[in-house]
Structure 1
Amino acid sequence: MCRHLAWLGPEEPLGRLLVEPPHSLYRQSWAPRRQRHGTVNADGFGVGWYAEGDPVPARYRRAGPIWADLSFADLARVVRSPAVLAAVRDATLAGADAEAAAAPYASGPWLFSHNGAVKGWPDSLAPLTGTVPPADLLSMEARNDSAFVWALVLNRLRGGDEEGQALADTVLEVAEAAPGSRLNLLLTNGESIAATAWGDTLWYLQRAGLGTVVASEPYDDDPHWQEVPDRTLLAASRTDVLLTPLKSLEPLKEPRT
């Protein structure tokens, strides 16, 4: 389920990143090339971006498919940003949360997305509800697995954890409670990106002077795209990418060649 992307680099129109590439996130909403679960991402979409001088990102989210939203086409043509997180959604379960269930989720400087599914949701994660403050549970944007995973991550961030540690600890906690879950998480604060590869595809492209892209799958055929091995934490800036193996609770899967 879902495809997502985060980017840091020189200021660019949203459309140049999300619409114009031949295999862009826009096209991945109906024709993903490497999606292992589901085939069409038409259950909502969202994009979050940062404006110069404002650490709090803006968001545009809708419940329907990205290709049916003419307002997004206008927005993507004129809005420019040096940092973006966007996603197209294939819902795991039916729900009534509409655009509230579409990533990116947000709080303060952070944007967050989850590509995957929690096995046995919601019963499997019921034991973890006690680790999140009641006010945070009651203020969740949606009643799905991704929103609860975000609540777990956000609780760690507010407790002082750095972004990569918050993602890694959340993935391991959820994977232990719900074995077989797919937990590709993506987080940015506008200056750095943290992501996990856990059960689905993750790639990155880093080019000097042109910034860094982290995505579920490549949006073009540039030979410099690199696949992130399964069970890995990625930490990236505009100029560097660091990969760190995550403690695995399940057999490691080698990246496909």
Structure 2
Amino acid sequence: MCRHLAYLGPPVTLRELLLDPPHSLLRQSWAPRDMRGGGTINADGFGVGWYPDSGPPVRYRRAQPIWTDPTIADLAAVTSTTAVLAAVRSATVGMAVVDAAAAPFAEGRWLFSHNGVVRGWPDSIVPLAAELPVRDLLTLDATTDSALLWALVRHRLRAGLDPARAVAETVTSVAAAAPGSRLNLLLTDGRTVVASAFGHALSLRATADSVLLSSEPHDDEPGWREVPQGHLVRANATEVHRQALGVAVVPDQLDGRGSR
């Protein structure tokens, strides 16, 4: 399984979010507390996307373990932002391990990440993939379930759906086509964030002016709340809303092979 997080709020450095906390995303890459569904570490790449004062988000993605990258610590120390999406990756057996396979995926102001696995890949999701424009399939970032999930969400966004509905419809359609899938998705445009808890853990900590969604709490401070399974979170820096997805979570059907 991958580990991911999204933050909206007052300016922070990437180091404060990704490296400094006692159970930071860096530590989760080699010592995660919750790897249900397979895998033991998240060493198949990492990525971080953040929003500068103007323009589209900036991304830094690599296909190596985050702890081996010589640049990320220096970059994180000097980069301050009000919105971040980041992930460390544990690749499903047989899927590409390349820079482009690491989240976050992006288009315009959107950043996207997936923590989980599509059960029965790729056969189970062929009917859903067939609904996408051929060009979208030919230009996937990588031959992975996460890249296809991003294409499904992006197709709905392009059609004018609001982000919460785009994520909810993607989760419910994939869950129906591939029962047992783990579909924890994160989507942000730097102002709002949408997250699903579907088959894996997701925690939330909100203050008066910030929200942090993370696969695992990055410290033992009070204020963390676990998002119930089968629920969707919609949030900005000052408000958090939760709703049921209306579809059963059945991750026990997974065979435990190294999912993301």
TM-score when normalising by structure 1 = 0.95
Whether the aligned pair in 1 keeps the contact of 2:4 and 2:87 (CA below 8 Å) is yes
3-state SS in 2 of match to 1:70 = coil
Q: CA deviation at 1:97?
A: 4.7
Deviates more, 1:97-106 or 1:156-165: 97-106
**What does residue range 1-257 of structure 1 map to in structure 2 within 5 Å?**
1-37=1-37, 38-54=39-55, 56-209=56-209, 211-250=210-249
Taking the aligned partners of 1:189 and 1:66, their CA distance within structure 2 comes to 24
Taking the aligned partners of 2:21 and 2:78, their CA distance within structure 1 comes to 17
3-state SS in 1 of match to 2:130 = helix
Q: Which runs of 5+ in 1 are unaligned?
A: none
Task: Provide closer, same or farther for how the CA distance between residues 71 and 77 of structure 1 changes in structure 2, counting only shifts above 3 A.
Answer: same
Q: CA deviation at 1:62?
A: 0.3
Q: CA deviation at 1:223?
A: 1.6
Whether the aligned pair in 2 keeps the contact of 1:63 and 1:99 (CA below 8 Å) is yes
**Aligned-pair Cα RMSD in Å:** 1.4
Moved over 4 A (4+): 250-253
Taking the aligned partners of 2:41 and 2:135, their CA distance within structure 1 comes to 35
TM-score when normalising by structure 2 = 0.94
Q: Which runs of 5+ in 2 are unaligned?
A: 253-260
Task: Tell me the alpha carbon deviations over residues 37-96 of structure 1, each in whole angstroms, 9 at most, x when there is no partner.
Answer: 321000000000000122x10100000000000111110110111000000000012334
Taking the aligned partners of 1:121 and 1:149, their CA distance within structure 2 comes to 12
Higher relative contact order (CA 8 A, sep 6+): 2
Whether the aligned pair in 1 keeps the contact of 2:110 and 2:187 (CA below 8 Å) is yes
3-state SS in 2 of match to 1:131 = coil
Identity over aligned pairs, percent: 55
Task: Tell me the alpha carbon deviations over residues 160-188 of structure 1, each in whole angstroms, 9 at most, x when there is no partner.
Answer: 01111000000000001000000000000
